[in-house]
Structure 1
């Protein structure tokens, strides 16, 4: 699955990935008004709109307006709540979900249990190449639907300790879209509270509210006072521009994660707050890359002052990462990171590179067989000037041990296309935000990209063994095993989580909640 950030906020799970919404010091006292237009800024164009064929955070954000999942998750408690399904039960390897009454698609047709089953079987089929397979839907699962009883039965191939959490991130497509997947690239076919009425890729996407919608998360409806009649998703790649538009009223909402967040806070704007990983470093381990050598990966990690990188990336607001599945509600509390991260030691880093054959010449640069050690570092453009400064700092710290690196800022669509394809990269900052550790398994093991979601081509038998043990334990009872599995990867510098933060989604003349992503039915328009 392609990452969703707040970086790749996996809803990239449930990347849906979850967090908890909160408010700042404004917005709640103004009068709620019906109708109106809510304009939201995205830092990257979502690309093709097929909701089951991409998991970048931009796509997931727009998907939530037009599509529903079978269940939802309370962002504060982690409790499974209703959505398309009004009731559910998990017994062993069998999951049964009963659909709510009267669910209709945006074209007016009824959503049936058999149509939902077709969705699940489509994602479960490896030939479909859905990035949600293994993350939101366990591999080997099979579904069937009984239209008379409105019951969907999902049979699992093996243990799935957080199966309902995964289903909360899987959008369901209506029959017209399932029959014509190509139509989903620029149109919507869902049961969600809004319907896409205009698509101008690279610029904006316009959605209109649907009357009669009553099956939203935990019973949310479009009859609620204060919901906007129209939603415009506007692509604004430059964070400073988005911040200026918020202040001027050109946007009603936007996620600001860089230094511009400070001035928006000082201006007293409303803010929904979401804890998230914002700094997570991956190394390209595909054969032929210098970073395929574990000694090089550890050396590059030890050469860095991760605390300083965290401070610069988050403009001094961040905190140390503690787990890989860090989005609220966190399924496994604890600390898999601090004791496992390789300690900063530039001298030891240089010695490791010497052992790996990358020797330092009279000019200070490291070479091996006449080839210089040159790296390409990729990072997303949504951190503004603080992201640029942090990348520059990392390049400088590597240069101190003789490693040449070039940093490139890319929007989310370009970045995910690069790392999941055959793009040129050695190191990438890709924060995958999920709330259950099993959702990360396809990204940390299994087939390497482009055949699978394992974009860094990680191969660690110890992690695979630990996952097998953890998967056999239902729910959070297996958290000790999950955290141990994470620590093993971190100790080997297969993945380097170095910064957490509370990400702010700011609002002007509107309030909303952001448990991982903006919840459409939580939007309330306010009198200006």
Structure 2
């Protein structure tokens, strides 16, 4: 009755204003704006099969056969169940019934059989390399016949790079697929992709096959999602406070306390799934000398960086893998720790003597190097601290800041020496991605191509009959990489997101290993 009485009192301009406010409120309630993590910027395609850089929006467009939770367990999605043969030489998957792509075509066993071969001869071929052939048993049953056991198969199938596209759409769009359009079975459809700016998605009103990681088993609560690329994190932070952004992914650790102080902002922290590190280009002098590479690693004080930049949030990184992985447990002598005295001794041994100006010299040339990083406050602040720590051992590092796309071109053209960067991946096969001799330039920024390393890589990637062997093989590969001083591990962050609680509600804890479609399905407009 009170609502009715108030309505009767409104007239003329007041009624128009009230209706306008109601329409605006309803529109806001139906749309959410999400800012990508700085590490996700620069994606140029939504084709999961061929892309080497995907972002969070990918998981809204595509579903996967399986999903991985934060505790590393695997859950059914487009596959209702699966069974591995006792010898590891075949896997049988029972598929979800009634699934359709955004273009109306059906998802079935033949879809899977047509999709798997598409990975051959792409950068992502390693994901399916162990699958010899795919057999269609019946419309909802598919069998992978393996050429070797693959203990990592479920992890691969749960990867963003194994979202399943519509074969009809891929064939129709050809080389334009992933840019002109992208068609999956996910809870949202691609409406527009402006490379480097934003991605706009609209709700898939037919979606009724969410995984059990989502409480909401129906359609999403939001009709529309806009994902924005905001390179400057300070700008993204201001937009979150003022309502231009509803959810901010990958917030820098040094922003956490500031954001928590905002009355309308809620922060969620999750276990980290990546490392900040400094790759060293082993082909560029003076880093073709392993002594100089080792000295560079010993110059970095990881504990001081965590304390000063990150206020104790997160952890120092002393090798290349996140600490929750068993392959991160290596010979302690191989972990990279701060030791400036030994760094100085190694540089002396390599012929680099300290000059009067604090910069080392050799054969009349100063120890002056290029230090690349990408834009974004967290990258630039960390790079400046690294620069100061290198100066303490007599190495002058000149910083150049690039956007995320341009810096990859610099790597591919082999114009770099040192760089500060980060990865987000919770599996030891990240070693293959960044150190395989088949990917020189990018993602193998270290430009390392070593026969023994390649052999260890092959054994780790292909020579494991079970999980125990895989752990042992990747540990051996990891230890060899560390012995060659190809990079300097720096920091293991937490994964942080923040949202404007006046506008949206994000479930806490976030299910899955990162913010993906299962969380967005449970995300609601604020009440």
Common fold: TM-score over 0.5:
yes
Q: After superposition, give the CA deviation of every residue in 1:371-408 in whole Å (9 maximum; x if it has no partner).
A: 443322223434x2x54333112212222333221223
Output aligned runs, 1:359-378, within 5 Å: 359-378=353-372
Contact 1:377 / 1:405 at 8 angstroms: preserved in 2?
A: yes
Residue of structure 2 equivalent to 1:70: 65
Further displaced range: 351-360 or 208-217: 351-360
- Give me the whole-angstrom Cα distance separating, in 2, the residues matched to 1:35 and 1:143: 47
Shift in alpha-carbon separation, 1:263–1:184, aligned structure 2, 3 A: same
1:407 partner SS? strand
Q: Check conservation: 1:220, 1:521, Cα contact below 8 A.
A: yes
1 CA distance for matches of 2:77 and 2:28? 24
Give yes or no for the alignment of 1:52 onto 2:49: yes
Q: 1 CA distance for matches of 2:443 and 2:350? A: 28
Instruction: Name the CA shift for 1:183/1:248 in 2 (closer, same or farther; >3 Å).
Output: same
Indicate how the Cα distance of structure 1 residues 357 and 319 shifts in structure 2: closer, same or farther if over 3 A, else same: same
- Asked if 1 retains the 8 angstrom alpha-carbon contact of 2:280 and 2:446, the reply is yes
What is the match of residue 10 of structure 2? none
Asked if 1:83 is matched to 2:77, the reply is yes
Any idea what the Cα deviations from partners look like across 1:236-259, whole Å, max 9, x if unmatched? 111111112212222111121242
**Equivalents in 2 of 1:415, 1:275: separation in Å?**
28
Distance verdict in 2 for CA 1:314–1:185, change over 3 Å: same
Structure 1 residues 334, 490: closer, same or farther in 2, change over 3 A? closer
Whether the aligned pair in 2 keeps the contact of 1:172 and 1:190 (CA below 8 Å) is yes
C-alpha deviation, 1:333, in angstroms: 7.3
**Equivalent pair of 1:73/1:165 in contact (CA under 8 Å):** yes
Equivalent residue runs for 1:15-54 within 5 Å: 36-42=30-36, 43=38, 44-54=41-51
Which of 297, 301, 304 lines up with 1:301 in the alignment?
Answer: 297
- Residue in 2 that maps onto 1:525: 524
Instruction: Look up the match of 1:280.
Output: 277
Q: Does 1:408 align with 2:404?
A: no
For the residues of structure 1 that align with 2:138 and 2:81, how far apart are their CA atoms? 16
Q: Using the TM superposition, give the Cα deviation of residue 232 of structure 1 relative to its aligned residue in structure 2, in angstroms.
A: 0.7
Question: C-alpha distance in 2, partners of 1:326/1:400?
Answer: 28
Q: Deviations over 1:113-148 (max 9, x none)?
A: 23323322121x22xx33x232xx153533324273
SS in 1 for 2:168: helix
Residue 388 of structure 1 corresponds to 380
> Structure 1 residues 242, 335: closer, same or farther in 2, change over 3 A?
same
Distance 1:418 1:52, change over 3 A: farther
C-alpha distance 35-388 of structure 1, shift in aligned 2 (>3 A)? closer
Deviates more, 1:468-477 or 1:175-184: 468-477
Distance of 1:259 and 1:156 partners within structure 2:
47
* Structure-2 residue corresponding to 1:232: 226
1:437 aligns with 2:428: yes
Q: 1:375 to 1:139 in 2, by over 3 A?
A: farther
Q: Counterpart of 1:290 in 2: which secondary structure? A: coil
> 1:427 & 1:313 partners in 2: Cα distance?
20
Larger radius of gyration: 2
Q: Deviations over 1:129-178 (max 9, x none)?
A: 33x232xx153533324273333333333342211111110121211343
Q: Post-superposition shift, 1:338?
A: 5.7
The change in CA–CA distance for 1:313 and 1:145 in structure 2 (over 3 A counts) is farther
Q: Are residues 1:490 and 2:482 paired?
A: yes
Matched, 1:398 2:395: no
User: What is aligned with 2:493?
Assistant: 501
Aligned length: 481
The offset of 1:266, in angstroms, is 2.3
1:422-456 Cα offsets, whole Å, 9 max, x none, are 14211223333322213432322332425x74332
Larger relative contact order (CA 8 Å, sep ≥ 6): 1
Asked if 1 retains the 8 angstrom alpha-carbon contact of 2:270 and 2:494, the reply is: yes
Distance 1:145 1:271, change over 3 A: farther
Distance 1:292 1:514 in 2: 44
Q: 1:479 aligns to what?
A: 471
Alpha-carbon distance in 2 for matches of 1:198, 1:464:
41
1:90-118 deviation digits (Å, cap 9, x = unpaired) = 22132222321122111111123233233
CA distance in structure 1 between the aligned counterparts of 2:208 and 2:278, rounded to whole angstroms: 42
Partner of 2:151: 161
Name whichever of 347-356 and 215-224 sits farther off.
Answer: 215-224
Q: Provide closer, same or farther for how the CA distance between residues 514 and 194 of structure 1 changes in structure 2, counting only shifts above 3 A.
A: same
Where 1:233 maps in the other structure, the secondary structure is strand
Structure 2 length normalisation: TM-score?
0.82
Q: Secondary structure at the match of 2:303?
A: helix
Choose from 55, 61, 78 the match for 2:56. Answer: 61
* TM-score between both structures, scaled by the size of structure 1: 0.81
* Gap change, CA 1:348 and 1:436, over 3 Å in 2: same
Match of 2:116 among 107, 114, 120: 120
Q: 1:325 to 1:306 in 2, by over 3 A?
A: closer
Which stretch of structure 1 is more off in the superposition, 187-196 or 350-359? Answer: 350-359
Tell me which moved more, 341-350 or 242-251.
341-350
Partner of 1:9: none
Structure 1 position 233, deviation (Å):
0.6
Which one is further off, 236-245 or 86-95?
Answer: 86-95
Offset at residue 188 of structure 1 (A): 1.2
Kept in 2: contact 1:378–1:408 (CA 8 A): yes
Equivalent-residue separation in structure 2 for 1:171 and 1:291 (angstroms): 39
Distance 1:70 1:326 in 2: 25
Matched, 1:349 2:340: no
Q: Which has the higher helix share?
A: 2
1:251-330 paired onto structure 2 within 5 Å: 251-255=245-249, 256-267=251-262, 269-276=265-272, 277-285=274-282, 287-321=283-317, 324-326=320-322, 330=324
The equivalent residue for 1:8 is none
